[in-house]
Structure 1
Amino acid sequence: MIPVQLTLKNFLSYRDATLDFGGLHTACICGSNGAGKSSLLEAITWAIWGESRAAAEDDVIHSGAKEVRVDFTFQTNHQKYRVIRTRMRGGTSVLEFQIETPSGFRPLTGKGVRATQDVILQHIKLDYDTFINSAYLRQGRADEFMLKRPTERKEILAELLKLTLYDELEEKAKDASKQFKFRVEELERSLENIQVQLQQRQTTEAQRAELEGELNQLQQVQALDNIQLQSLQVVQHQRQNWEQQLSFVKQQYQNLTQDSDRLGQETAAVRSQLADLDQILNQEIDIKQGYSHYQFLVSQEEEFSAKFEQHSRATTLKQQKQQQLVKQIQDIERQLQQAEAQLSALEQQEREIQQTLTKSGEVDAALSQLNAARQHLQHLDQLQMQVNPLLQQKINLQSHIDRAHASLVARIEQLQSTEGQLQGQHRRQPQLQQAVMEVAVQIEELEKKRVYLQRVQEKGQERRHFIERLQAHQRDYERILGELEQKLQMLQNPNAICPLCERPLDEHHWNRVVEKTQSEYQDTQGQFWVVREQMAVSDREIQVLRQEYREISQLLSGYDSLREHRGQLAAQLQATSEIQQQLQQIAVEREHLERSLQAGDYAPEKQAELKQLDQYLHQLNYNEQDHALARSEVERWRWAEIKQGQIKDAIKRQTQLAAKKPELQGNIAQFQLQIQQLQINSQLAREIADLEQQIAEMGYSSEQHNQLRQAVRQGQSWQMRYQQLLSAQQQYPQLQIKLQELQEGITARLADAQKFAQQIEQIVEQLEATANPAAQIQALEQKLAIRRRQLDEKIGQLGRLQQLAHQLETLQGQYEQQQQELQTCKRQQRVYQELAQAFGKNGIQALMIENVLPQLEAETNQLLSRLSANQLHVQFVTQKSGKSGRNSKKNTKLIDTLDILIADAKGTRAYETYSGGEAFRINFAIRLALARLLAQRAGSALQLLIVDEGFGTQDAEGCDRLIAAINAIASDFACILTVTHMPHLKEAFQARIEVTKTQQGSQLHLLI
């Protein structure tokens, strides 16, 4: 991937910026810390992969902006592409992908951001993780690979090489192997059960033939009985028709009788209503007179209600006018009170100003004292400005001398402590040798225990599988015993039939069937108890194995700690050989430091400078106490200035108050006059008087109105009686007609009832002359039902036998199919077991790492030779012995690791002992070699290299070598970008991209 152009809008620290990479081969991105150098590179990763250092997606948006947009054009595989990624704050992202054609850029964007991202990865053949671990050496992560432990380092290399895919494949292969194993066991159990069931085929065929003959005989007898039953049912049906007709006629007779009684009751009720209406019609004259008087009272009450409404409106309006008048008067009274309060406050201020002006003489005398004190303080301030830097210098010198003294004392104490520790370690050398031997013996014993523990575990698994098979046999025997018990119970019935063919048994056959069933039951029960005994024995064996497993596991709990302790002891033993030489060096250094501390000749320059400084301070004769007294004297007379300002303010305020007092007095008089006018001559006062006159002229009396309302309420009963009179005049002729109709209905129903009574007598005579066949039908139906149940049982038995035969045929095909499936599952299980081993850590992964590391080591050393002038060399070690120490008698198996051995002119030593510049050159070489390797495995050439802040740990010579190395490998890359904040390094690059931070955001300047 070769960058062509980058355009930013509101990305991190940038608002609007465009960078054209055309013509740039090796360029430096320079600027101060925080200017936005790394943000420029983050924009590339965010545009292509949507990844950046921001914790949240909206964090990439510039502060205060609502939208971010990055437009990145790049070239890969001789083809130019363009990626545009935008995002709204709080919204979603939009991703566009385009390819350059002769007619311009053509879109390759998919349906959605995820689909477009997949299209981008297909074209560039480089994901985000591979990019940041290959082409992009990010800030602060140069030594990330080296600082990991060897085992973690190998895991990181496996992740970078995408070997984690094989871990997933291993898990899938193990899962598939387990599934096929379970399927094999399931098929074996199923085949055993099917084989047992297939042994019943011949017996089933014989039973079905015998059952079909018995079923034909029963069906012929059943057909004859059905014919006889049908003839009897015809006779019974005719008798039932007569009975139903009798019941219908009786019901009609009863209904007519009930209707006659009901009509008689209705006739009595109508006559009672006619009598009530006669009473109301006789009072017609009195009701009409009372109703006329009620209407007159209602008209009088309506007139008084109209007057009441006019009176209420006038009264309400009068109250509103009175409230408005009172409110206006209250407003003016408040203004009057405020003016009187202001006048009172003004007079009080005049009295206070007069008291202040009487103290002007005393203030003038105090001001002269204040000026003298300030002149003296000014002289002491000037003297202090000369003394303060000297005092600070004195403190610094004394602090430096004290630190030198403390450093000597601390170094002596450290040497004494180290000497005591080394002497103690030196005395412990024989003990360490003995301890190493003892720990080695213990570890050897525990390793034997580990082997035995594995055998115990395998034995336990074998016993558990055996118990599972026994449990399956136990379930089969329990089922068989249940069936045999059910047969024996059936044979206890005196009319028992054969359990197999369901034919009646004579005494001889019954005895033979019982003996055979009991013998089979005893044999099965014996086998059942044998299985139970085997299960009990196996359970006891598993309990013993579990107890033994727990005991051995408890013994092996300290195995890892013993191995670690053995390594620690070996390291301590190796270190004791150099202790004697270290003790001699410590003794010489401690004696020299003690002599220097006793003589006091440490930091001689600082002590001489301190002595000269003390003499000069004595000549200046500055005293901090006098300075403090002078400051307090100034503070004591400072009140005079405050009082002088108060006097000036009082004179100014006195003039202002004298001009304001007549105005307030005039306002008070005007407010008093306004109140009097409102109470007598205002428009509201006149309107209130007119309303009072209108109310008096209305002549409305609430007492008369209430009496009239009471009379109306009492006369309401005449309105109800008048309504009853009108209703009675309307209902009276209707009730007379209804009474005549009821009398005619009663006469007609009595005649119909007499006819139905004659029909009932005729039907009863016919029923007595016909015989009832119900008993014969019931007996015959019972016989048919018993035979029908027998037929149903026979048909059900035949169906079960036919279904069983069909099932046995199906089982035969299933048996053959499962045998083939069993062979296939066994083959698949073996295949997936081998695949799991191949995909494991010791399979393809280990082989790939072993194949990759020589290439990585050669590439690293080639680059490192350029960076260190052939002074540094690295070696990758992937395995080491599990044993350590001098007295180890034998080696265990090799341990997987990824140690990096670094050698220089002095020999091989640890990574931590190298300087910062050397460590970075080592990291840079390894990272760059790893970058080439990852890019090659990703299927794309490494054309872009980004080094973010790689010069900070280098000295001048190291920086020159690093720049020379970058220039030396420049031909291998299409574009190299380096990032630094060190100003003197930017001159080493012909092309520079300067980044500056301004109020409008970060700005770019390209210098070629």
Structure 2
Amino acid sequence: MIPKQLTLTNFLSYRQASLNFQGLHVACIAGANGAGKSSLLEAISWALWGQSRGSCDDDVIHGGEMEAQVDFVFEHHHQTYRILRSRRRRQNSSLEFQVETESGFLSLTRRGVRATQQLICQQLRLDYDTFVNSAYLRQGRADEFMLKRPSERKQILADLLKLDQYDQLADKAKERVRQAKAEAKVLEQTLVDLQAQLSQQQLVAQQQQELTTRLATLDQQQQADQTTLAGLQEQRQRRQRWQQQRTLLLQQVDHGQQVRSRLRQELQELQQRQQAVSRLLAQAEAISQGYGQWSQLQAEEARLSQVWEAYQRLHAQREQLQQQVTQPRDQLLRRQQQAQQQLQGLEQEGVELAAILQRQDQVMTAMAQLRQAQERLHQLDQRQLQVLPLLQQCQALQRDLQQAALRLAARLEELSHSEQTLKQHQAQQPQLQQAVLEVTHTLEQLQRRRAYQERVREKGLERRRFMEQLQDRQRACETQLAQLEQKMELLAQPDAPCPVCDRTLGVDHRQGILARHRQEQQDLQREIWVIREQLAVSEKELQVLRQEYRDLDAELANYDPTLEQRGQLQAQLDSSAGMQQRLQQILQEQTQLRQALEHQNYAADVQTALQAVEQQLAELPYDERDHALARGQVDRLRWAEIKQAEIKQAQQKHRHLQGRRQALEATLAEVEAQLAALAASPQQQHLSQVEQQLAHLDYSPDYHHQLRQQLRAAQDWRLRYQALEQARQQQPQVQQQVDEIERQVQMRSQELSRLQTELTELDQRLQTTPDPQAEVVHLEQQLQGRQQAREQHLAQLGALRQQYQYLQQQQAHLDSQQQALTAARHQQRVHQAVAHAFGRNGIQALIIETLLPQLEAETNQILSRLSANQLHVQFVTQRVGRSRQSKLIDTLDILIADTQGTRPYETYSGGEGFRVNFAIRLALARLLAQRSGVPLQMLIIDEGFGTQDQQGCERLIAAINAIATDFACILVVTHIPHFREAFQTRIDVVKTEAGSRLDLSM
């Protein structure tokens, strides 16, 4: 893969950036920490595989933007491809894959991002893990391989070579071993149980014979008792019918007695009513006289009611006339009283006005003094108008000066706070680095646990599919078993035809078919038993896997928070790079601000204007205290103006009082004349006539009230007269009802006598026929007890027959279980051998042993070019142990030889050690690329060269130039300035407010 063009839009630290790789062979990507160098490389891996260092997909979008896009054009196998990948915040990603043709780019995109990604990996024949371990030499990977213990280096090689797939195969083989072992254990226990069950076969046959004899005896006893019970039950039914008839007769007798009692009660009530009517008819004359008196009182009350209406009319007229005569006289009296009260008020007000008019001379003197004080105050007010704008301007300038000083002090305090914050961040940098390392280690462990969880889930799904297959087979066997039982029931009949061809079967033929069906039935029962045992074992294993999956799920709950925590810590660590420069700027600005505050060297224009205003104020003769004294004197003499106005108002009121007194005296004389004329008015004469008419009516309200009371007292005679009339009408009807009820009472008495005779006859029959209930209950209990015993014996006999038949089947099942046990043990041995072959000491060790010579040859070839044939590396996979037996043990020692001999890796200088690390790392990358079948044409080196001195950098440059001919494009990432100058082609990354920017210089 050879890059040709990379275009970024809102990706990580970039807003808009484009990089053309045409003509780039060996190039240096340089820039400060955090400028976006790694983001440029992340864009390539994200475009190809959709993976980045972010914890979630939205992390690749530039802050504040909604969508990120990467357009990557590259050449692969002499064919140009183009990938466009975009991501919109909180939505799915989109991916487009194109190939260049003569007419332009042709789309190869498939339906769905996942299908398109699979196509890209198929075309590249390179996945993400192989890319980052081959073409992308990341920081610390070579040192990690060299500094690990020899026993751990093989594990690193296994991880890089993806030998974990053999671990998965070994785990599956071990799982098969455990299954075979568990199955063999179950089969062994089953054989023991079967042998124990078969030892009871003779005892079961003897118990079966004894139960058959007991059942025959019980059947004979039951027949005799049932005959006796039938006769007793017939006798009991006759007695029950007689008792039911007796109960019915008793109910009829009771009902007849109740009806006769009710009729007698009604007869008594009618007789009492007849007597009351007779008594009322005997009082007819007295009631008629009382009714006549009530009629006379009623006529008198009607006459008085008519007179009462005329009396009410005249009485209302008299009240109205009295009101017409009294109301004008009362008004004149009230008017006379008001006039007299007003005259008294005018006299009192005249006295008060005379007291005010006596202070007229004193008020005139005070008014002259007030005019002089007001003239003095007016002069001072005019002078204040000249001074006031200057004072306001002076105060405003002083406020501006104070605000400028406060702003400088606030800025100084803000800088002090920033200084403390930056120092605290610098002090926390070692802790942040340690925290990043710890979180990274935790994430690696969680990732390994996640992979193990996935294996557990796959194993559970495999076990579930196996159980479903067993259940399907069990249902099929049960269906076949039911069909066989149905056929055997049909064949058990003597004249049963053939279930297939419907022909009559002979005895021998029928027995042969039955024997074959029984054999098939036994085989199906044994197979069902085996399936049930396997289902039980599988269910237990599935429960263990479920519990283990839940435990792993709880353990992996902290994966996302830990990943987010690592991103936060890394961001804090990256942001601490420019803190020292920022701290120096803050200290310099603090010194300048303190000097300005001490010498008041700020706001020079405001200070100049303030001095000019103060000089103008000094030239104007104005004293605020004199102005205040003049204002106070005017305020003290303000009372003279008020008193002068009161004297003027008192003079006006005095003249007005004289006129009002004369008017009130005239009003009093007029009211007295109107009162004298009111006594001879027409209303008074009309009132006298109405009073004479009331006297002529001769109506007394008291007499009328007494008459009404007498009328109410005589009201009872009217009611008794009405009752008398009703009694005269009801007397014949009551006599007729009495005669009818007497006749019904006589009929009910005759019916009761007849029912009593029948009841006596039934009692005699019941006494002569004894009750067989006790004997029936006793016989029923005996029969029920024998029936229960019979059913128990039948159940026991059925169980014994079933047990005997089952033991016969178990004998055949014992042979099949012995064969299954032999097969399970064979499977256990086979899968043990497979697990060992796929284990660490099997195929994996063989692959590493085969790979190490290639790795050693490739490393020495590269190292010879880097060191001018001065260094040589040898991989040793076995060495003699320190024990007395001197056995060979597995290891992975790396021996380095130079012109002075073989020495440990730690004794070599930094430059030599780096060459060895670089050669091994590059050889590993080439081998990984060869195993994937893709030629390594692109190389990205990001090894963190900040620890190298000047000579180390020169050696690194020489090493890169020495291998440059093997690659089509080499990109070196660094932030060291003098390392940047050593490359002719440079890609400078600069971070600005508008995002990171790329500058290409060749």
> What's the TM-score once normalised by structure 1's chain length?
0.49
Q: Which protein has the larger Cα radius of gyration, Structure 1 or Structure 2?
A: 2
